[in-house]
Chain A
Amino acid sequence: MPNASSPPAAPVARRLLLTCALLSGVAVSWDPSLAAAAGPLAHYAGIHPLNPHMGAFCVIEVPHVHAEWPPDIRVYRTLPNKTQVFVGDPVALGYDGPTQTYFGPHPLVFHDLSPAETIYCYLRGPHHHTQPPEPPASFVKKDGVNWFVGTFPPEFDRDYSRNDWINEVRGIGTYQPPKVDIAAAPPGYHLPAVLDTQAVVPVVAPAANGGAAGGKKSRKPGGAVTPVTPPPPPSKGVGKASKPADKVSGAAPAGNPAP
Chain B
Amino acid sequence: MRGTRLRHRLPPVVVMAAFCALLAGGCRRKHIDGTVAVDAVLSAWGAKGFTTTEIKSIEPDAWSAGACSRGPLAELDVLMCEYAADETLVVGDGKIVKDWEQDGVATGVVVRNGRTLLAIADTKKIDASGRTIMRLIEAFRAAR
Give the B-binding residues of A (Cβ under 8 A): 32-41, 50, 56-68
Contacts and interface: CB of A to CB of B under 8 A. Distances in A.
B91 interface: no
A64 B124 contact: no
26 contacts: A33-B123, A34-B104, A35-B106, A35-B124, A36-B106, A36-B125, A39-B101, A41-B97, A41-B100, A41-B108, A56-B128, A58-B107, A59-B130, A60-B107, A60-B130, A60-B134, A62-B109, A62-B111, A63-B109, A64-B130, A65-B100, A65-B105, A65-B108, A65-B109, A67-B107, A68-B106
Interface of B: 97, 100-109, 111, 122-125, 128-131, 133-134, 137
Interface of chain A, helix or strand or loop or mixed? loop
A61 B130 CA distance: 9
B128 A64 contact: no
Residue with the greatest number of chain B CB neighbours at <10 A, chosen from A41, A50, A57, A64: A64
Interface of chain B, helix or strand or loop or mixed? mixed
Contacts of A50: 128-129
Contacts of A37: 104
A35 B125 contact: yes
A178 B131 CA distance: 26
Contact of A38 (B101, B131, B134): B101
B123 A58 contact: no
Contacts of B125: 35-36
A57 B106 CA distance: 14
A159 to B, nearest CB: 29
B20 to A, nearest CB: 33
B106 A58 contact: no
Contact of A35 (B103, B111, B123): B123
B106 A38 contact: no
B105 A41 contact: yes
